[in-house]
Amino acid sequence: MDIVGQLVTIAAVLLGGLTTHFTNHRMERQRTQYTMLTRWDDRKLDAYAEYIDRVRTYIYSSVILYEVRKGMRSTQRTEHDLELELGDGDHARGRAFERVMLLAEDGVIEAAHRLNAAAAAIDWRARGTTGGTLDEWRELHKTAFMAINGFHEAARDDLGVSGNFHGEEHGSRDLLLPPERRETD
């Protein structure tokens, strides 16, 4: 009986050691997976924020060029300089978009494509590639604003951020635009 008791004790020690080893291995694996997931989420957040910043800068550069061409604004820079600045903004936006393509899931990529199309429409109008009225120009901006919100929503979903900002209150704020100028004699 003494030998049986010793064998049971040895078996219990071995089982306890194996259980401890398995539990520690599993916990370390989960910690590594969480660290990797967090690391990628940090990079995604940086990529998404940089992309939105580049898109907004690109749109802003388009607005300045458009307003100078239409005589709505004066600036010390020439139209050529503004076009060069807009081209630089387009390249920066494109590079930021590539980072999004590398890191994002499909919903974010599709939202980025829609946003690129909306921003390009503003660029083309600013450069004079396409024509239209001031009201149509404003509609392009509303479309871009909605595309930016769509990108934000897709990015939030991808990052696991809870909440929703497409409610009635947010949508009713719309894009704030100055009223049309009326020339007085």
Number of folded domains that form the chain = 1
Buried b (16+ CB within 10 A) or exposed e, 127-152: beeeeeeeeebeebbebbbbbbbbbb
The answer to whether 96 and 50 have CB atoms below 8 angstroms apart is yes
Q: Express each pLDDT in 40-72 by its tens digit.
A: 788 999 999 999 999 999 999 999 999 999 988
- Assigned domain for 31 exists: no
Residue 95 forms part of a structural domain: yes
From the centroid of its chain, how far is CA 121? 19
The per-residue pLDDT for 13 is 85
Of 53-62, 144-153, 176-185, which range is least confident?
176-185
State which residues form the domain around 51: 41-173
What's the pTM?
A: 0.72
Query: Is 53 inside any structural domain?
Result: yes
**How deeply is 4 buried, as exposed, middle or buried, from its count of CB atoms within 10 A (0-12, 13-18, 19+)?**
exposed
1 part of a folded domain = no
Contact 151, 116 (CB under 8 A): no
* pLDDT for residue 164: 67
**Chain centroid offset of residue 43 CA:** 11
Residues 6+ apart with CB under 8 A from 1: none
User: Does 72 map to a domain?
Assistant: yes
pLDDT digits over 6-38, tens only?
A: 888 888 888 888 888 888 878 888 877 766 656
